[in-house]
């Protein structure tokens, strides 16, 4: 799989290079602007940049590569995506196994002064490895994995779902934007201070919810990308799959285990992440004694699109909605 991905990316980079050669003319030079160009991979990064830039966001070119809500774990850049990365001023990506393509894409960069932010690198020792909880279905071994000479640690990439993580990440993005655009650094610094205050206030609400809740456990009939969030507030969890799992079908053993946990802990609901299909969660409910638990959704922001942004979706608004769901799950 990795070899195939590398080959596809190499071909895309060749195509991108050919297109770039064709652009070297007077018309292209005339089209160049002094606009700040920022490329992000996912929605939280995109929204944080907009919040930091504030009123100056309209003067910048801000790109979200997964603007149609594609899965981060299976995303591969197009030739156009590579072009956008190549001449941007700031490129922000998550890091981890899903972003293996980035190293090769950056080799195509035409902006030697580009700043690059890897979220996992910023957080350093705060990042966590994927874990397998009791009852969780292990991911199937694939042929490509078996051929790997050594197995690397797989990190949980969903760092943005922690408000505590969001603060240093926003501050790092702000720091780089201020260096790139010193003329407006005071505006960016002020916006950052105000936004970090909002993150801290919401973090405190999550803490209060966890501390005063009747229960301390949530259960997901789905992948579980919220480990950073639950760890932040001392909550326990059970889930069908790990956060970065590619599995979609739960075994009878997994469903049975989770249904028994719902009964044992008297949980009022089974949680899922965003998406149209909640079959696993519904099957878990059908296998409980009471069969009356609600199926509720927490949004991991892996499917947030630019259309959602146009409808006023923000990182904070989604995390506030997640808090409302969490309150119902814990009480």
Whether residues 311 and 276 share a domain: the answer is yes
Q: Per-residue DSSP letters for 169-204? A: HHHHHHHHHHHH-GGGHHHHHHHHHHHHHHHHHHHH
Q: Report if residue 176 sits inside a domain.
A: yes
Whether residues 189 and 217 share a domain: the answer is no
CA 27/CA 35 separation, integer angstroms: 17
Q: Report if residue 74 sits inside a domain.
A: yes
Whether residues 184 and 298 share a domain: the answer is no
Element of type H or E holding 217 = strand 217-224
Q: What's the pTM value of the predicted model, to 2 decimals? A: 0.87
Chunk the chain into consecutive blocks of 10 residues (it has 331) and report each block's average pLDDT, rounded to whole numbers: 46 46 39 81 97 97 91 82 94 90 88 95 93 84 50 85 98 98 97 98 98 98 96 97 75 96 98 90 97 97 94 98 98 96
Whether residues 185 and 259 share a domain: the answer is no
Residue 151, pLDDT score: 56
Whether residues 130 and 272 share a domain: the answer is no
Whether residues 188 and 250 share a domain: the answer is no
Residue 3, pLDDT score: 44
Distances (CA, A) of 151 to 61, 100, 147, 154, 223: 39, 15, 10, 9, 22
- Provide the residue range defining the domain that includes 130: 2-138+158-197
CA 69/CA 325 separation, integer angstroms: 22
Residue 147, pLDDT score: 52
Helical H runs in 23-61? 26-31, 43-53
Structure tokens at 118: 């890897």
Q: Report if residue 203 sits inside a domain.
A: no
Whether residues 190 and 247 share a domain: the answer is no
Q: Report if residue 166 sits inside a domain.
A: yes
Whether residues 236 and 186 share a domain: the answer is no
Whether residues 126 and 73 share a domain: the answer is yes
SS3 240: strand
Structure tokens at 135: 């009852």
Q: Across the strands, what pairs with 117?
A: 92
Q: Report if residue 143 sits inside a domain.
A: no
Radius of gyration of the chain (CA): 21
Residue 99, pLDDT score: 85
Residue 140, pLDDT score: 65
Whether residues 300 and 323 share a domain: the answer is yes
Q: Report if residue 132 sits inside a domain.
A: yes
Q: Report if residue 205 sits inside a domain.
A: no
Euclidean distance between the first and the last CA atom of the chain, given in angstroms as a whole number:
44
Whether residues 167 and 316 share a domain: the answer is no
SS3 101: coil
Q: Of 96, 54, 98, nearest to 76 (Cα)?
A: 98
Residue 277, pLDDT score: 82
Domain count, the chain: 2
Whether residues 74 and 184 share a domain: the answer is yes
Last residue in a domain, options 167, 197, 227: 197
Residue 246, pLDDT score: 62
Q: What are 146-153's contacts with CB under 8 Å, separation 24+?
A: 148/2, 152/97, 153/129
Q: Report if residue 206 sits inside a domain.
A: no
Please calculate the CA angle 36-97-17 and round it to the nearest 5 degrees: 50
Which CATH number fits the domain that encloses residue 305?
3.40.50.1980
């Amino acid at each position: 799989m990795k070899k195939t991905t590398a080959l596809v990316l190499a071909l895309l980079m060749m195509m991108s290079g050919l297109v770039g050669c064709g652009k070297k003319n007077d018309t292209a030079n005339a089209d160049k602007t002094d606009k700040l160009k920022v490329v992000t991979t996912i929605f939280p990064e995109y929204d944080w940049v907009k919040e930091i830039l504030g009123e100056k966001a309209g003067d910048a070119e801000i790109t979200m590569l997964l603007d149609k809500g594609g899965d981060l774990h299976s995303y591969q850049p197009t030739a156009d995506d590579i072009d956008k990365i190549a001449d941007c001023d700031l490129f922000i990506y998550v890091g981890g196994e899903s972003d293996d393509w980035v190293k090769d894409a950056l080799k195509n960069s035409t902006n030697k002064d580009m700043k690059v932010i890897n979220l996992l690198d910023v957080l350093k020792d705060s990042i966590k490895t994927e874990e397998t909880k009791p009852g969780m279905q292990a991911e199937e071994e694939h042929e490509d994995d078996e051929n790997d000479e050594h197995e690397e640690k797989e990190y949980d990439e969903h760092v943005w779902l922690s408000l505590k993580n969001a603060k240093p990440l926003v501050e790092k993005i702000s720091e780089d934007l201020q260096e790139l655009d010193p003329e407006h650094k005071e505006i960016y610094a002020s916006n950052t201070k105000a936004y970090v205050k909002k993150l801290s206030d919401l973090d405190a609400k999550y803490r209060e919810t966890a501390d005063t809740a009747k229960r301390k456990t949530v259960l997901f009939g789905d992948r579980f990308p919220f480990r950073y969030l639950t760890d932040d507030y001392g909550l326990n969890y059970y889930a069908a799959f790990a956060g970065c799992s590619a599995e979609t079908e739960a075994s009878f053993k997994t469903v049975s285990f989770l249904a028994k946990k719902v009964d044992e802990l008297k949980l009022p609901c089974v949680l899922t992440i965003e998406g149209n299909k909640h079959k696993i969660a519904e099957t878990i409910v059908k296998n409980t004694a009471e069969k009356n638990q609600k199926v509720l959704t927490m949004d991991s922001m892996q499917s947030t699109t630019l259309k959602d942004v146009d409808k006023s979706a923000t990182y904070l608004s989604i995390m506030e909605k997640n808090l409302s769901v969490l309150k119902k799950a814990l009480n």
